[in-house]
Each structure stands twice: as structure tokens, then as C-alpha cells.
């Protein structure tokens, strides 16, 4: 996985191997909010979801849960992790 902005030099990478920079995404979401109307509503929802994701990530890191442990926990719940 490669974390990047949307610079054209990264276009050779398959999109399934790229992660857009979260700082750039958050700025995009804020720009939606500033457009007003339906865009603002969508932007607010995206910002809320991003905040929740970062809150959960902080909790996850604070629990010192490693990927191998996560896979085991998820398997116990009857689902799989790729």
C-alpha cells in the first residue's frame, strides 16, 4: 500500500495499491461543507465519519492490538479479514 497525494506521478500504481492522504481528503470534505446545499450535508457526514474512524483507530492503537490478534478475534466472530 502506498500513501500519496493525487500527484500524477503515482498514476502508474494500481488504485487498489494506493491510499490517498487523509489530510488531503479532510480538506476535500471541508470544501464540500463550504459549498453549501447538499454538498455541505455530504461534507459534514464525511467529516463525522472520518472523525469516528480516527477515534476508533486511536482506541485500536491504545489497546496494543496487533494484526495477528485482530485476525483471531474477527475469526471468532465468524467473519474473515483479508
pLDDT tens digit string along 25-77?
A: 999 999 999 998 999 999 999 999 999 888 888 877 777 666 666 666 666 55
pLDDT at 73: 62
pLDDT at 74: 63
pLDDT at 66: 61
Which band of pLDDT confidence, cut at 50, 70 and 90, is reported for residue 2?
confident
| Kind of pairing between the strands at 18-20 and 2-4 | parallel
Residues whose CB is less than 8 angstroms from the CB of residue 24 and which lie 6 or more positions away in sequence, other chains included: 5, 6
Amino acid at each position: 500500500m502506498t500513501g500519496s497525494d493525487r500527484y500524477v506521478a503515482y498514476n502508474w500504481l494500481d488504485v487498489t495499491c494506493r491510499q490517498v492522504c487523509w489530510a488531503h481528503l479532510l480538506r476535500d470534505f471541508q470544501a464540500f461543507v463550504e459549498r453549501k446545499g447538499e454538498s455541505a450535508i455530504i461534507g459534514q457526514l464525511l467529516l463525522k465519519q472520518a472523525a469516528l474512524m480516527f477515534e476508533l483507530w486511536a482506541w485500536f492503537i491504545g489497546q496494543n492490538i496487533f494484526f495477528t490478534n485482530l485476525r483471531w478475534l474477527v475469526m471468532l466472530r465468524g467473519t474473515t479479514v483479508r
